[in-house]
């Protein structure tokens, strides 16, 4: 196997959405905006800032329209262009996102039939059909769409998932018009060998420059899995500040891989990101204080002296 490390990597910060929506602590709109502002100040240029879903099911994201309204007036001191994206599972959600001025959205499917039913109450094929009008409307408004594939390295209900199933869903999202397909280890059971196997299968159908990875760190494998993805040429990585998050439909899943830990590894490998670790740690310590716990990040704990 030929290793093909990228010279630079684009980190997609998901802590303010995928992270906070799974935290029990209440975080105000003002605190969310402060967090996102600190993240942007560190050099992050892609930040998932909210989710336009039913407040009944995800009450933590009920204020997403207000968050985006406040972000519209914020400009990072660096002057860099930052993309603030949102999750939009259906046309209603997309219409709300458009009204809020969102410039990029994401949809989410699954490689597991059982998880699809538990998560969005429909089959995989039904979910993909539901996404077609969402993508079409987004494109008609010149909005880019990112597509998540959940449970690619394991499912809480089915166990192992066939790489061919992951490849099929990934190909369909790409063909539908998603500019980037995110291979997601929703419950954090993946290992480097599994990661390589799944990515190899997906790359037969989707070019590597259209792929991203999203790992949870349940068994401490996230950085090793990311390293495997880097070896295969993947240059877009999701992560969450302070290791925020989990998954409400995946019992036992811990938080996302911490952005600080990913950045420390990338810096040590000489891979460019444009992000300042010291500034990033300010965001990590801020949100950790807000939610009342230590950051789930080895780097933050080590540098804090804990």
Distance of alpha carbon 303 from alpha carbon 1, whole angstroms? 36
Q: At what angle do helices 113-120 and 124-140 cross, to 10 degrees?
A: 60
Q: Which position among 151, 155, 178, 247 bears the catalytic label? A: 247
Asked about 155 being catalytic, the answer comes back as: no
Contact between 10 and 216 under an 8 Å Cβ cutoff? The reply is no
| φ/ψ (deg, to 5) at 25 | -65, 145
Contact between 248 and 217 under an 8 Å Cβ cutoff? The reply is no
Q: What is residue 59's DSSP assignment?
A: G
Distance of alpha carbon 91 from alpha carbon 244, whole angstroms? 28
Largest CA distance in the chain: 51
Distance of alpha carbon 134 from alpha carbon 88, whole angstroms? 8
Contact between 128 and 90 under an 8 Å Cβ cutoff? The reply is no
Which residues participate in catalysis according to the annotation? 247
């Amino acid at each position: 196997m030929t290793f093909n490390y990228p010279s630079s990597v684009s980190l997609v910060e998901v802590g303010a959405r995928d992270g906070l929506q799974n935290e029990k602590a209440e975080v105000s709109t003002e605190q969310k905006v402060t967090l996102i502002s600190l993240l942007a100040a560190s050099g992050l240029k892609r930040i998932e800032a909210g989710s336009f879903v039913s407040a009944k099911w995800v009450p933590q994201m009920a204020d997403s329209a207000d968050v985006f309204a406040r972000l519209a007036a914020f400009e990072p001191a660096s002057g860099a262009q930052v993309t603030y994206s949102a999750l939009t599972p259906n046309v209603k959600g997309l219409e709300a996102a458009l009204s809020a001025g969102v410039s990029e959205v994401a949809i989410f499917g699954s490689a597991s039939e059982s998880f699809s039913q538990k998560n969005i109450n429909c089959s995989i094929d039904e979910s993909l059909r539901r996404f077609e009008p969402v993508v079409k409307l987004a494109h008609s408004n010149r909005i880019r769409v990112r597509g998540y594939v959940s449970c690619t390295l394991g499912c809480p209900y089915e166990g192992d998932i066939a790489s061919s199933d992951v490849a099929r869903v990934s190909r369909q999202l790409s063909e539908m018009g998603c500019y980037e397909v995110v291979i997601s280890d929703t419950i954090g059971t993946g290992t480097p060998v599994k990661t390589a196997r799944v990515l190899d299968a997906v790359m037969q159908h989707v070019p590597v420059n259209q792929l991203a990875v999203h790992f949870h760190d349940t068994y401490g494998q996230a950085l090793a899995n990311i390293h495997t993805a880097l070896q295969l040429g993947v240059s877009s990585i999701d992560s969450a500040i302070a290791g925020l998050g989990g998954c409400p439909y995946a019992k036992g899943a811990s938080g996302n891989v911490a952005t600080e830990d990913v950045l420390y590894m990338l810096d040590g490998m000489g891979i460019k990101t444009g992000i300042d670790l010291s500034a990033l740690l300010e965001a990590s310590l801020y949100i950790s204080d807000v939610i009342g716990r230590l950051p789930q990040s080895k780097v933050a704990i080590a540098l804090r002296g804990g």
